[in-house]
Chain A
Amino acid sequence: EAQVTQNPRYLITVTGKKLTVTCSQNMNHEYMSWYRQDPGLGLRQIYYSMNVEVTDKGDVPEGYKVSRKEKRNFPLILESPSPNQTSLYFCASSLSNQGSEQYFGPGTRLTVT
């Protein structure tokens, strides 16, 4: 089954404790991205990757890191989480970066206290 998986689905952590949210897709998609969803703000892109070892900042990259060592995986790293990073996070993949259909993962609900 074609899918995007994320782990963990829920996470409560404390300020400053490094965390990683994993994302994996099995569709051989080149393009992957991370979004955060906050009430009234829709989906805002954090980082994206057009291929292995190619990553770039989205609209709200501050406080986040990513890596793309393999085509299927695109982890999101919060080196020192802060309460304003409490949000719902979605990983997404698509065939290309030319505005093609996005396939979203199930989401990770993160709370930073």
Chain B
Amino acid sequence: GQQVMQIPQYQHVQEGEDFTTYCNSSTTLSNIQWYKQRPGGHPVFLIQLVKSGEVKKQKRLTFQFGEAKKNSSLHITATQTTDVGTYFCAGYDYKLSFGAGTTVTVRA
């Protein structure tokens, strides 16, 4: 069955630095979504990527969908304390499967 792997599980970042979290699927995806869950909160939709090689930006966040539509990445530049939380990818082929998430902490 479909599996979505996400790495790293934890990311400790110095404020102002960049980091990237990666998502890999065992199957080719129709689309991939990214969610953010703040500590104590619920997952909130960030973005959806559909096309092969697609790149979308939201301020300091850059999302990419791989050419083969089996992997994706989220890159955050100039990390801020507001970026703290867990970032999930969710890949859709015939069903939506979530990765285990990357939990981000920020050192001020």
Contact = CB atoms under 8 A, between A and B. Distances in A.
A106 interface: yes
Contact of B48 (A101, A106, A107): A101
B42 A102 contact: no
A14 B72 CA distance: 42
A102 B43 contact: yes
Interface size class of B (residues with CB under 8 A): 20 to 34
A75 interface: no
Interface residues of A, number: 17
A45 B91 CA distance: 13
B61 interface: no
Given A101-B48, A103-B45, A42 B6 contact: yes
Given A42-B101, A43-B88, A102 B9 contact: no
